[in-house]
Chains A and B, each alone.
Chain A
Amino acid sequence: MVMASPRGHDWAVAAATLLALTQQLFLTRRAAAAEETADTVPTRTGPKATSSVEVVVTGARPLTRDTTADTTRVSGRTLQESPRGSTLDALSQESADLYVSAGGVLHGVSDGSTGGVHMRGLGGSPNSQVLVVEDGIPDFQGIFGHPIPDAYAPALIDQALVIKGGDSVLYGTNALGGVIALSSRWRTSNGYELINDVGYGSYATLKESATWLSHWSKTDLSASLQTLSSDGHRPGAGGNLAVGLVGVRYHFTPTVSLTIRDKYTHLHGANPGPASHPYLDHWYNVSRHNALLQFAWTPRGSRLTLSEFANVGEHRLYDGFLSTDHTTGTLLDFETRLHESTILILGAASNQVGGRVEDRIAGTETPVSPICDVAAYNQLTVKPQAPLTLTAGTRELYSSKYGSVLLYKAGARLELLSGLSAHARITRNFRQPTLRELYLPFPTANPNLRPETSVNSDAGIGYVSKYLNAEATVFRTAATDLIRYYGVWPSAEVVNIDHIVINGVQGQLMLKHLGPVTLRISANKQDVGRYTRQNPNAKVNTTLEWNQDFDLSSLTAALSSEWVHGLYMADYHRQPMDDVFFIDATLRYRHFIPERQLTLEPYLYLRNLLDHRYAYVADYPMPGFNAFAGLKIEI
């Protein structure tokens, strides 16, 4: 945590600020409407609007379709300018109840991989209990059920929404503990943007990102290619990553459009092994396509989308493992404003996961049966009184393997005073077993497994003003039929068992517009019970940012830190680990050249500034002090 030691003058300023805040809270009832636009993404050519403070404490102003949910929105620009190694790491920096086990340069897949995600006590490594959604489409690997943590290149992300407590009513399976919803960026006014970002740093890390966005007449085009290569911070930890995305949107009329998008990810790396027993040849090779075809009709007050999606991939490992998998589906979603105070969402979804697994060395194949499900869902949002919003929804899912599953949610939101609000929500979520858990002997399987379910609830209070955003939420996660592995090969078993309850409290505080300085603190404390493996008790993320605007340029300096406490490598508080703590520094200068309509943006990341020795995974040490410098050019 980074805190400046205030001098006497600063204390006076702080006291005056506090007094002003108190007056604003209790004496004035001015609407904080101006804040509605304070956190929007700055225009690319507006150097005066380049503060990267674009994290929203949404306890008071949620942006999700369920306004009673506890969410944190993070802009794409914040993700792009984060010193953290990946998009998920950068999100974790902005929301302390999202824990992501960071790796070195790459997260990777299979044994030794990082990028495990936990939210409010649920998740995993690899994670299949926190769902990642891209443009409304669930994104998970067909056989193992987890996302690929390295696959989320920030260049084309418009914004990310962290939905705490999950929402299987709207998003279906795997949204057990939370949802990370990513939306892609499109240009909406005529013209084009070309952004190139190239950087080089420690461990021979070379990163290049080229992005094209255009909007002409009836056609939008977005394309991005990001490549990364690195030797890694220790032998065997290097690798290569390429993420390419192409999307075309054609507007037949102002209200009818068709979008075609494909994202290709290629990842090659290796598990370096524990530092005490390093591996030399535990490589992996992953190729994946995420394709989307989406029809949208947006008449006045309504929106209808029909989406077809396919997530197809191939994974090869050093030990002969070869899998090809797919997650495919159809999503029909209709949202309409029935009345000035009533919004209805109706939807239908079908989903199929399947694949094949073989041992290239032995020439054997393990049979895998696909799982299909269809679902119908609804959500009704009503404002019976001006300050009160009520939301309720259900999802009836029918699985080819498990029969019908009923999911539900209900929430309320109350605007108490100007800028002050309270919210509460309860939601029942589920996760279907992965094909690995059902069929693959790694180390064992059980075709009779049932879905996991959770009933998550939270209640919180939030306040938004010109200088202060604050939010505190208490939450309760109750999960049943958890899928757990017991024993070791050849007598291991995987079964549905147990019921856990996780209680916790999470809060965020943002002090802003205090001259050039902004401070963001996000903290989470929870009791995870006996399932302590990679599921920490406490986490605090802090960002202190100084931003100075000039006529055609701006300068930003930031210090960000993460502290993770109560981290274990095994359940029942066994194999405790030292706390994670590090500080990263960012320096970014942005200069706009109006005659060329060009923005130059050199930047420097100094990571782990204190050269602290720490690890998220035991015996997998994180990099010491390292640096990365780059230049971003926007035309």
Chain B
Amino acid sequence: MRSSILNLLVLTSLVSTIACGSNDDDKSATATVSIKNDFNNAEMAYQPPWTICESYYLGQQFGKLGLGDTSDAKKVAPGLDNVLLVAAWDDASCSPENSLPLASKNEEEIVSGQTRTIALNMANHQGPCPPQGVAPIPEAQYTRILALWPSYNFKPYAERTENTECTGDTTDADAGN
């Protein structure tokens, strides 16, 4: 009887060790992110001259980024989201008439403790103008951009191709968004 109890204690202690492992889903965890304007990446076949006027990812604004610039690193809650942008075509002053709502093509992921720079470039963006080799931006992301930066007065999603930058004189914008 005594040995049976001893045996059970041994097994129980091992099971307890197994069961008492902590769960890793630390709700207070953070990650560190920077955003890079990589539209001038020379490895791509085409370099659209987008200046990033506004940028947003997982609750943080990363601000304006010229071609090749990288933002300051900011703490965010780990998660998964598209990077939301307002970008101006060949216009470092970010005039609203040259600007469009863009988003990263990928849902970008960052996990607890990670430090990451997310690059926005020809391969990793989507936009509202008629397709020229760039994926169309989904309505949900487009609408979020309108809510984040209403001062640009972008058209509603149903009229997204009628934004000035899409329909205006700067027709070469179509090639890049």
Q: Is A387 located at the chain interface by the 8 A CB criterion?
A: yes
Distance between A572 CB and nearest chain B CB, rounded to angstroms: 5
- In the complex, whether A500 has a CB less than 8 A from a CB of chain B is yes
Contact between chains at A455 and B111 (CB < 8 Å): no
- The answer to whether A501 and B24 touch (CB under 8 A), given A410-B14, A572-B109, A574-B107, is yes
Flag whether A458 is at the interface (Cβ < 8 A). Answer: yes
- Shortest Cβ distance from B2 into chain A, in angstroms? 10
Residue of A nearest to B44 (CB): A490
When the two chains form the complex, which single residue of A457, A486, A489, A491 contacts B109, counting CB atoms closer than 8 Å?
A486
Asked if B150 is at the interface (CB within 8 A of a chain A CB), the reply is no
Q: Is the CB of B124 within 8 A of A424?
A: no
Check A459–B15 contact: CB distance below 8 A: yes
Q: Which residues 112-127 of B have a CB within 8 angstroms of A?
A: 112-114, 116, 118-119, 121, 123-124
Nearest A residue to B38 by beta-carbon distance? A491
B:1-51 near A, CB below 8 Å: 3-4, 6-8, 10-11, 14-15, 17-19, 21, 23-25, 36, 38, 41, 43-44
Q: Are the C-beta atoms of A487 and B106 separated by less than 8 Å?
A: yes
Q: Select which of A424, A476, A530 is within 8 A of B14 by beta carbon.
A: A424
- The verdict on A411 contacting chain B, using a C-beta distance below 8 Å, is yes
* B172 on interface, CB distance cutoff 8 Å: no
Q: Are A497 and B111 in contact (CB under 8 A)?
A: yes
Taking a contact as CB atoms under 8 Å apart, the answer to whether B7 and A478 are in contact is: no
Question: Within 8 Å of chain A (Cβ to Cβ): is B80?
Answer: yes
Q: How far is the CB of B165 from chain A (nearest CB, A)?
A: 25
Contact call A388/B7, Cβ cutoff below 8 A: yes
B108 is an interface residue with CB less than 8 A from chain A = yes
Q: Give A449 Cβ to nearest chain B Cβ, in Å.
A: 14
Q: Would A387 and B7 count as touching, CB distance under 8 A?
A: yes
Determine the distance from Cα of A574 to Cα of B3 in the docked complex, in whole angstroms. Answer: 52
A489 touches B24 (CB 8 A): no
B7 touching A572, Cβ below 8 Å? no
A-facing mask of B117-141, CB < 8 A → 1, else 0?
Answer: 0110101100000000000000000
Cα distance, A83 to B23, chains bound together (Å):
40
Q: In the complex, what distance in Å separates the CA atom of A571 from the CA atom of B41?
A: 28
Q: How far is the CB of A576 from chain B (nearest CB, A)?
A: 15
Determine if A36 is an interface residue (Cβ-Cβ < 8 Å).
no
A426 with B121: CB separation less than 8 A? no
The contact of A488 among B17, B106, B112, by CB within 8 Å, is: B106
Cα distance A220–B41 when bound, in Å?
63
**How far does the Cβ of B102 sit from chain A's closest Cβ, in whole Å?**
16
A496 to B175, CA, bound (A): 37
Tell yes or no: A380 within 8 A of B by CB: no
Interface assignment of A495: CB less than 8 Å from any CB of chain B: yes
Question: B13 → chain A, closest Cβ, in Å?
Answer: 9
Residue from the list A425, A459, A491, A493 in contact with B124, Cβ < 8 A: A491
Would you give the 0/1 interface string for B62-86, flagging 1 where the beta carbon is closer than 8 Å to chain A? 0000000000000000001000000
* Interfacial chain A residues near B4, Cβ < 8 Å: 387
- Is B23 a contact partner of A501 (Cβ separation < 8 A)? yes
Q: Which of B10, B106, B123 lies in contact with A490, CB distance below 8 A?
A: B123
Contacts A414-B7, A497-B113 given: A488-B124 contact, CB under 8 Å? Answer: yes
CB B118 to nearest CB in A, in angstroms, measures 7
Cβ of A364 within 8 Å of any chain B Cβ, yes or no, is no
Query: CB-nearest residue of chain A relative to B31?
Result: A497
With an 8 A cutoff between CB atoms, is A340 at the interface? no
Taking a contact as CB atoms under 8 Å apart, the answer to whether B116 and A486 are in contact is: yes
How far is it, in angstroms, between the C-alpha of A330 and the C-alpha of B4 when the chains are bound? 43
- Chain A residues near B3 (CB-CB < 8 A): 385
Inter-chain pairs besides A487-B106, A572-B80, 15 sampled, C-beta below 8 Å: A387-B4, A388-B11, A390-B10, A414-B8, A425-B14, A459-B14, A476-B18, A478-B21, A487-B118, A488-B123, A491-B36, A498-B113, A499-B112, A571-B80, A572-B107
22 contacts across the A-B interface (CB closer than 8 A): A390-B10, A411-B14, A422-B11, A424-B11, A426-B17, A455-B21, A459-B14, A476-B19, A478-B21, A486-B108, A487-B124, A488-B105, A488-B123, A490-B43, A491-B121, A491-B124, A497-B113, A498-B113, A499-B112, A571-B80, A571-B109, A572-B107
Across the A-B interface, the 7 shortest Cβ-Cβ residue pairs:
A491-B119, A457-B18, A490-B43, A388-B7, A498-B111, A424-B14, A499-B24
